[in-house]
């Protein structure tokens, strides 16, 4: 009897403990779900919930809530867990590097492009990376697939296909013109060297591609990158500087020069070769062309006096290294505002915007910039255009009465939008289709 009583007490205590643990666990999960639901509501308000390009799509039947995808994603709040299942939050901020795809232990994630509501334009390419224009090939993110390692692999494979198509009878300057020196273009340049092609690589900006143009230093490599003529590079997490160093060493070791600051403006097919025009006024003839231009486009220029000075930039790199400068930021969109705010901590920042109010800003940015202006951390000049850039100053002109203001200046950042690659692709005659949520990477 006494033993039964003891057993009942033990069972009761064990059940009570289990009950308490489960209760607190569920309460914690409920709380976490509530936070994620709130973040989703804000993302919807700010227009960040709907993805714009590559993004993860979660198969809820297979998701077992390990949270591995959230841990693997280096961006903030792209993914979260709500009621036991993973979900996207700020999907439009996803940059498609696929870390979540590789981390999910149950293979519940696919990487898709576009959505039912918002299509994304992709060029047609066949199995060997050739487009509808014979002799013109595409590698890397322009074809739809993100990730450095994929771009490297495609640059290699596309160039291998090109080596098989080149016919020697043509009189063009080059066998292959590679356009863009991101990971795809770099890998293509190395492969071209490996197969003895007479090739040239041109880059509108400087070597490195998209990943170097954003203010984040950490780079995630989901698996080893196999660089032609250099070997396997096993970097799991690295910095922009280290990755650039690897690429530079690989190119130098093989005596490959990249022609930087050379933007391709047009490509025309002439009988059996391509006539390529650049912004420097060069006309290049090549038997084949590889487009490795990514999907981010080209920043728009203002075409004003002094814009070619070294102190002018169209993107903000390493803001933490810039201090005690007089800076002008031009633009009223999110990139301009975010850059102005980042720089305002350690510099004197003036923000010039041609309109009289900010429109279509993310709510968070709107609130932050309004506060910074009120606290005089950022000097605002609404209704102005930047009209002249000198070595030590800049000139702003009023759009209201044409009056001019001269401001001392060390650095200028221009965020005037950009030209999308699709405009360029249409111009050169490539076939393009809109994708509405198709899986680009699937287990």
The interface region with ligand FAD, picked from 127-135, 158-166, 181-189, 340-348 by CB under 6 A, is 181-189
The interface region with ligand FAD, picked from 140-148, 170-178, 306-314, 433-441 by CB under 6 A, is 140-148
Decide: 440 and 154 in contact? Cβ < 8 Å: no
Q: Does 11 bind ligand FAD (CB under 6 A)?
A: no
Compute the least distance from the CB of residue 213 to ligand FAD, in Å: 8
Nearer to ligand FAD by Cβ, of 48 and 395: the residue is 48
> With contacts defined by CB under 6 A, how many residues of the chain interact with ligand FAD?
35
**Is residue 193 classed as helix, strand or coil in its secondary structure?**
helix
Question: Which residues on adjacent β-strands are paired with residue 404?
Answer: 397
Compute the least distance from the CB of residue 95 to ligand FAD, in Å: 4
Question: Which residues on adjacent β-strands are paired with residue 270?
Answer: 273
Nearer to ligand FAD by Cβ, of 82 and 147: the residue is 147
Considering only residues 284 to 323 of the shown chain, the ones binding ligand FAD according to CB under 6 A are 292-294, 296, 298
Nearer to ligand FAD by Cβ, of 104 and 148: the residue is 148
Q: Does 220 bind ligand FAD (CB under 6 A)?
A: yes
Two structure tokens written together for 92: 């439009």
Return the ∠ at Cα 155 (arms to 152 and 160), rounded to 5°: 130
Compute the least distance from the CB of residue 401 to ligand FAD, in Å: 39
Pairing status of strand 312-313 against strand 404-408 = unpaired
DSSP assignment of 101-130: HHH-TT--EEEEES-SSS-EEEE---TTSB
Out of 51, 56, 80, 146, name the contact with ligand FAD by CB under 6 A. 146
Compute the least distance from the CB of residue 77 to ligand FAD, in Å: 15
The interface region with ligand FAD, picked from 83-91, 120-128, 143-151, 322-330 by CB under 6 A, is 143-151
Structure-token match 């780079």, residue found: 219
Decide: 248 and 207 in contact? Cβ < 8 Å: yes
Decide: 152 and 187 in contact? Cβ < 8 Å: yes
Pairing status of strand 237-239 against strand 218-220 = antiparallel
Q: Does 179 bind ligand FAD (CB under 6 A)?
A: yes
Q: Does 147 bind ligand FAD (CB under 6 A)?
A: yes
Q: Does 261 bind ligand FAD (CB under 6 A)?
A: no
Two structure tokens written together for 252: 């130098």
- CB atoms < 10 A from the CB of 216, how many? 11
Compute the least distance from the CB of residue 334 to ligand FAD, in Å: 14
Q: Does 114 bind ligand FAD (CB under 6 A)?
A: no
Compute the least distance from the CB of residue 40 to ligand FAD, in Å: 22
Q: Does 159 bind ligand FAD (CB under 6 A)?
A: no
Residue 306 Ramachandran class (φ > 0 left, ψ -120 to 50 alpha, else beta) = left
- Contact letters for ligand FAD, residues 190-209 (x by CB under 6 A): ------------xxxx---x
Centroid of chain to Cα 375:
32
Out of 51, 183, 306, 331, name the contact with ligand FAD by CB under 6 A. 183
The Cα–Cα gap between 78 and 71 comes to 11
Q: What share of the chain is helix, strand, coil (3-state, %, to 5)?
A: 30, 30, 40
Q: Does 140 bind ligand FAD (CB under 6 A)?
A: yes
Compute the least distance from the CB of residue 32 to ligand FAD, in Å: 26
Question: Within 13 A of 338's CA, how many CA atoms are on the CB side?
Answer: 13
DSSP assignment of 220-238: E-SS-EEETTTEEE--SEE
Decide: 401 and 384 in contact? Cβ < 8 Å: no
Considering only residues 70 to 109 of the shown chain, the ones binding ligand FAD according to CB under 6 A are 95, 97
Compute the least distance from the CB of residue 290 to ligand FAD, in Å: 11
Q: Among candidates 237, 262, 258, which has minimal Cα distance to 186?
A: 258
Compute the least distance from the CB of residue 377 to ligand FAD, in Å: 25
Compute the least distance from the CB of residue 179 to ligand FAD, in Å: 5
Q: Does 211 bind ligand FAD (CB under 6 A)?
A: yes
- Interface ranges with ligand FAD (CB under 6 A): 95, 97, 140-142, 146-148, 151, 179-185, 202-205, 209-211, 214, 216, 219-221, 263-264, 292-294, 296, 298
């Amino acid at each position: 009897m006494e033993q039964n009583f003891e057993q009942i007490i033990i069972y009761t205590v064990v059940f009570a403990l289990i009950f308490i643990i489960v209760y607190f666990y569920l309460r914690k999960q409920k709380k976490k779900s509530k936070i994620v639901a709130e973040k989703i509501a804000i993302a919807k308000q700010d227009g960040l919930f709907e993805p714009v390009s590559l993004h993860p799509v979660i198969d809820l039947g297979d998701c077992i809530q390990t949270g591995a995808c959230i841990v693997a994603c280096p961006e903030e709040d792209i993914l979260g867990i709500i009621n036991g299942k993973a979900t996207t939050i700020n999907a439009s901020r996803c940059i498609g590097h696929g870390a979540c795809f590789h981390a999910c232990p149950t293979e519940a994630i696919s990487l898709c492009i576009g959505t039912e509501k918002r299509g994304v334009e992709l060029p047609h390419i066949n199995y060997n990376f050739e487009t509808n224009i014979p002799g013109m090939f595409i590698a890397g993110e322009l074809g739809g697939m993100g990730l450095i390692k994929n771009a490297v692999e495609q640059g290699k494979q596309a160039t291998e296909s090109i080596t098989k198509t080149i016919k020697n009878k043509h009189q063009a300057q080059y066998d292959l013109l590679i356009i863009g020196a991101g990971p795809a273009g770099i890998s293509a340049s190395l492969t071209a060297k490996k197969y003895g092609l007479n090739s040239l690589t041109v880059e509108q900006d400087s070597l490195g591609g998209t990943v170097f143009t954003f203010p984040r230093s950490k780079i995630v490599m989901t698996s080893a990158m196999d660089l032609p003529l250099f070997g396997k590079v096993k970097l799991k997490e690295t910095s922009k500087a280290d990755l650039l160093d690897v690429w530079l060493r690989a190119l130098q070791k093989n005596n490959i020069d990249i022609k930087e600051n050379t933007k391709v403006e047009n490509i025309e097919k002439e009988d059996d070769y391509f006539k390529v025009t650049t912004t420097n006024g060069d006309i290049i003839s090549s038997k084949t062309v590889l487009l490795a231009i990514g999907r981010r486009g080209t920043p728009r220029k203002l075409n004003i006096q002094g814009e070619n000075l070294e102190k002018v930039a169209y993107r903000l790199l390493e803001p933490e290294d810039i201090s005690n400068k007089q800076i002008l930021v031009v633009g009223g969109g999110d990139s301009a505002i975010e850059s102005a705010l980042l720089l305002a901590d350690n510099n004197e920042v003036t923000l010039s915007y041609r309109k009289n109010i900010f429109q279509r800003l993310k709510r968070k940015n709107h609130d932050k910039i309004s506060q910074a202006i009120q606290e005089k951390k950022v000097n605002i000049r609404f209704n102005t255009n930047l009209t002249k850039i000198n070595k030590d100053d800049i000139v702003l002109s009023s759009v209201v009465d044409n009056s001019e203001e001269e401001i001392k200046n060390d650095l200028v950042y221009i965020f005037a939008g950009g030209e999308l690659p699709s405009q360029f692709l249409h111009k050169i005659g490539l076939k393009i289709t809109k994708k509405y949520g198709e899986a680009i990477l699937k287990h």
